[in-house]
Structure 1
Amino acid sequence: MPTLPWDALVADSTLPVRARHLASLGLSLIAPSALADGFIEDSHGTLTLRNYYLDRDYKDDGAKTAAREWAQGFIMNVESGFTPGSVGFGLDARGLMGVKLDSSPDRSGTELLPVSNSDKRAADEYSRLAMTAKMRVAQTTVKTGDVSIFLPFAFASPSRLLPQTFRGTTLSSKDIDGLILNTGYIDRINKRDSTDYQPMSIASPNRRFNGAATSSHMAYVGGDYQVNKDLSLRVYHAEVADLYQQNTLALLHTVKVGEGTLTSDLRSFFSDEDGSAKAGNVDNRNLSALFGYRFGGHRLSLGYMHASGDTATPYVSGTELMGMSELTMSSDFLNAKERTWQAMYDYDFAAAGVPGLKSRLRYVRGDHIELAALNADDRKEREFQMELGYVIQSGPLKDVGLMARKSIYRNDFPAGAAFRDENQTRFLVMYTVPIW
């Protein structure tokens, strides 16, 4: 599904022992004069400023009536080039800081800021400084340290103040024409409102699984293949040790129809428990189809997602699953037995002479929901979502991005459910500037 331009993703990194070994080994073999040929000359850096306001106005009878916070984020991303030669080495550095602008214990918990378990107060500020070592051979790049993953089974969430990352080693190769091969080994996750690494666990809203169970690592392999200019395929296998394993198959096709373009986006996830199954039973098939038609500045999309099996669709806590509903605001629509319908309308105002302005209307409805831990079945949920974004095109504020999102969410879940009736509002101002 397309993402909007203000959802820019910036990764941070921390340097574990194996990253220091790789960096010191590679750089010690290169003379200082040779470093300038690529390592320094090809380096670049950016600073991204994110001002974020998030308001959850709950409309049910729960004790907490709102979660409402405002924060400022600073994301510095510095990437080196590679040293010359058949094997090139490099080093990336990133610094992140979040600063509280407004919060209180009775309305904290938006995940913009870390919150104390004892008094529910949000931190005044939080920060992390991190590095990633990298190596390149031909069109293959290996990174180790703090890494970002934007893959269908674990998409690093971009939806809060600072980015969420992992600790591990990844390999991405483009040596075969048309094929992007990805594989990796991940042992820790740094969530979007945290400053330290934690063992990975399974997302468990509505007590779907044993959310307290943790995994020693996640390993994955797969790739994206561009069959031709109109057809691409995606295949991945991922194992979250002793929790679950998941196979992903996807197809994206475009074809010219009349004056516009028809897109077909088919996705599937097949999930079972792994190893000692510490999270409990995992048995799920998630199939979805999204068809869109674009003409001029208009795009109309209709989609359907069907979950079967005994459990909900699993994913790593703190990430997002790239199913049909990954951009929803108030629920994940991944409950057991859920059947989800979606209608979406996008308009790019560049077609009307206003470049940089885009809008979206979206309606998502799920039914046949089973909530086993809450002794409920045949439940329903729905969300209506509005988005408006603008990137300033000229003047002293050129390239400043403004985004407003509004969600109206309702369900008939029992008391104690993770997803509550709410009206949610988000405002984001973002600006990225080169620092060299």
Structure 2
Amino acid sequence: MSNNKQVNTIFKMSCIALACAVVGIEQASAAFVEDSKTSLNFRNFYIEREYPNSNAENIGSWSQAAMLRFESGYTDTPVQVGLDLSGQYAYRLNDHNAERLDTILPYDADKGEQYQDYGKYGATLKLKYSNTELKIGELRPMTPVAFIDDSRQLVTTYAGVMLESKDIKDLKITAGKLTHINSREDDDYEKLSLFAGNAPRYESDGLNFLGLDYNFTPAVSGAYWYGQLEDIYQQHYANLAYGTKVGDTKIKLDARYFHNSEDGEAFYGKIDNQSYGVMTTIEDGNHLLMTGVRKNDGPSTFPTLAGYAPQPFLHAWANLGFVKPDELTWHILYAYDFKGLGVNGLRATARYLHGSEISRPGLEDNSEIEKSLALRYVVPEGKLKGLGLELMHIRTDIKYGTVYQKGTEYNENRAIVTYNYKF
């Protein structure tokens, strides 16, 4: 979608949303305004990735962002009306690595450099009746079939329509269609496509989805989701989880399954992939332990949306993804909350992932490993309450056959300072 078309589309959505909202405000302005929430989030983001075993040059950037979001209340009308507005802006703070693409800031291939700045904005019309809500415009889904990316600088958003209903006890029904994505490193909306490396880009007319989340008992929950990226792939997702408490220790067992196949015209050819995963989470006081295993079956890579859209519903999702054909991944995460030592707001996390049995034509003994350490501190009180600092170090080892792939494995450091102000 061109910039002009994007501006016109969002402008029209905004006008429709504002017109509907004004009608409701005339009847119930207090609820619309008094129940609203406005927040301003600042994020200073530094990242550098180095390739220690090759001549590849480092990539990365340092930028400052501001993100403003307004979420209205609802009018006191038979069909309640609401309106959300958002604006995001980021500015590159130096020229270090600016001549190289880093997948975080937009890149101008003609000039051979990252953008100096970029921004996003959007509007969402909300219509609500009883416990059913319809959203039209900018969407931020966090579902098994589509998810935002808030791990870098500006947040991924989508355009489309989404309905969510909780009118049936213990059941949440979600349905809708996403037509465009505004990815984390872009200032424009594009039609949805498949993340396929250097392959030609084929665009879909949209992602249709239906989700059912059900609580069988207070301890047992399940879900089924279906997603259809028209003419590219179909995706089925099923989940069953059990949670209990032994003394003061919380235990959760979680099993997840994905089945992926091609759809319609099959723009990217045949897709044959299944993923099975089980994970155990144990939380005891200030300690958190998560561990599990996941197996990919089939000759295809697990399909994800173009635009670096993540898939955190895969238990072993990480920087490397661990989505390769036939890959077997086991993983473990440990986190400690230092409030147990009297330091409120400080938390440390260590994570290890090991993928093996990867199917690569003509190569055996393929594997990949990712290790990460993170330290996060959020000021718990006082004038600087909510100010956060996060430091992260990531190391990867990628092996093709019996040889470690020079130039592919990398080490990465991130430093992130955040502050969220609520009006």
- TM-score of the alignment, normalized to the shorter chain, above 0.5: yes
User: Aligned partners of 1:14, 1:166: CA distance in 2, in Å?
Assistant: 16
* Aligned residue in 1 for 2:409: 421
* Aligned residue in 2 for 1:412: 399
The reply to whether residue 130 of structure 1 matches residue 122 of structure 2 is yes
User: Aligned partners of 1:294, 1:197: CA distance in 2, in Å?
Assistant: 40
Is 1:14–1:145's contact at 8 Å kept on the other side of the alignment?
no
User: Aligned partners of 2:326, 2:269: CA distance in 1, in Å?
Assistant: 17
User: Aligned partners of 2:123, 2:275: CA distance in 1, in Å?
Assistant: 36
Is 1:68–1:107's contact at 8 Å kept on the other side of the alignment?
no
Corresponding residue pairs, total:
414
Paired residue secondary structure (2:29): helix
Within 5 A, what are the aligned runs for 1:23-38?
A: 23=17, 26-27=20-21, 29-30=23-24, 33-38=26-31
Paired residue secondary structure (1:316): coil
Query: Structure 1 residues 19, 396: CA separation in 2 closer, same or farther (over 3 Å shift)?
Result: same
Range 409-418 or range 232-241, more displaced: 409-418
User: Aligned partners of 1:137, 1:349: CA distance in 2, in Å?
Assistant: 44
* Aligned residue in 2 for 1:95: 87
Query: Structure 1 residues 240, 89: CA separation in 2 closer, same or farther (over 3 Å shift)?
Result: same
Is 1:14–1:167's contact at 8 Å kept on the other side of the alignment?
no
Paired residue secondary structure (1:19): helix
* Aligned residue in 1 for 2:345: 356
> Which residue of 47, 55, 78 maps to 2:48?
55
1:55-91 Cα deviation digits (max 9, x unpaired): 1111232x53211211111100011111111201121
Range 188-197 or range 251-260, more displaced: 251-260
User: Aligned partners of 1:120, 1:433: CA distance in 2, in Å?
Assistant: 36
> Which residue of 218, 231, 234 maps to 2:223?
234
User: Aligned partners of 2:231, 2:76: CA distance in 1, in Å?
Assistant: 42
- Which amino acid in the other structure matches residue 282 of structure 1? I
User: Aligned partners of 1:394, 1:387: CA distance in 2, in Å?
Assistant: 22
User: Aligned partners of 1:106, 1:17: CA distance in 2, in Å?
Assistant: 32
* Sequence identity (%): 27
The reply to whether residue 320 of structure 1 matches residue 310 of structure 2 is yes
State the Cα RMSD in Å: 2.4
The reply to whether residue 83 of structure 1 matches residue 75 of structure 2 is yes
Q: What TM-score do you get using the length of structure 2 for normalisation?
A: 0.92
Q: What is the Cα deviation at residue 261 of structure 1?
A: 2.2
> Which residue of 379, 389, 412 maps to 2:366?
379
User: Aligned partners of 2:41, 2:17: CA distance in 1, in Å?
Assistant: 26
The reply to whether residue 140 of structure 1 matches residue 151 of structure 2 is no
Is 1:64–1:106's contact at 8 Å kept on the other side of the alignment?
no
Q: What is the Cα deviation at residue 376 of structure 1?
A: 4.0
Within 5 A, what are the aligned runs for 1:114-125?
A: 114-125=106-117
Is 1:18–1:144's contact at 8 Å kept on the other side of the alignment?
no
Query: Structure 1 residues 83, 76: CA separation in 2 closer, same or farther (over 3 Å shift)?
Result: same
Query: Structure 1 residues 79, 354: CA separation in 2 closer, same or farther (over 3 Å shift)?
Result: same
Query: Structure 1 residues 127, 312: CA separation in 2 closer, same or farther (over 3 Å shift)?
Result: same
* Aligned residue in 1 for 2:291: 302
Query: Structure 1 residues 291, 38: CA separation in 2 closer, same or farther (over 3 Å shift)?
Result: same
Paired residue secondary structure (1:38): helix
Range 410-419 or range 312-321, more displaced: 410-419
User: Aligned partners of 1:297, 1:416: CA distance in 2, in Å?
Assistant: 38
Q: What is the Cα deviation at residue 105 of structure 1?
A: 5.0
Paired residue secondary structure (1:36): helix
User: Aligned partners of 1:418, 1:267: CA distance in 2, in Å?
Assistant: 34
Query: Structure 1 residues 45, 25: CA separation in 2 closer, same or farther (over 3 Å shift)?
Result: closer
> Which residue of 135, 143, 146 maps to 1:154?
146
Paired residue secondary structure (1:319): coil
* Aligned residue in 1 for 2:388: 401
Q: What is the Cα deviation at residue 141 of structure 1?
A: 1.1
Is 2:398–2:405's contact at 8 Å kept on the other side of the alignment?
no
1:193-243 Cα deviation digits (max 9, x unpaired): 1111111111124x6xx4522211000001221222222212100000000
Q: What is the Cα deviation at residue 417 of structure 1?
A: 8.2
User: Aligned partners of 1:423, 1:190: CA distance in 2, in Å?
Assistant: 28
- Which amino acid in the other structure matches residue 49 of structure 1? F
Query: Structure 1 residues 106, 33: CA separation in 2 closer, same or farther (over 3 Å shift)?
Result: closer
User: Aligned partners of 2:176, 2:363: CA distance in 1, in Å?
Assistant: 38
Is 2:260–2:271's contact at 8 Å kept on the other side of the alignment?
yes
* Aligned residue in 1 for 2:194: 202
- Which amino acid in the other structure matches residue 169 of structure 2? D
Q: What is the Cα deviation at residue 14 of structure 1?
A: 9.1
Paired residue secondary structure (1:23): helix
Q: What is the Cα deviation at residue 173 of structure 1?
A: 1.3
Q: What is the Cα deviation at residue 416 of structure 1?
A: 13
Q: What is the Cα deviation at residue 394 of structure 1?
A: 1.9
Is 1:14–1:129's contact at 8 Å kept on the other side of the alignment?
no
User: Aligned partners of 1:122, 1:173: CA distance in 2, in Å?
Assistant: 42
Is 1:383–1:409's contact at 8 Å kept on the other side of the alignment?
yes
- Which amino acid in the other structure matches residue 146 of structure 1? E
Paired residue secondary structure (1:369): coil
Q: What is the Cα deviation at residue 167 of structure 1?
A: 0.7
Q: What TM-score do you get using the length of structure 1 for normalisation?
A: 0.89
Is 2:213–2:222's contact at 8 Å kept on the other side of the alignment?
yes
> Which residue of 358, 363, 375 maps to 1:388?
375
- Which amino acid in the other structure matches residue 68 of structure 1? G
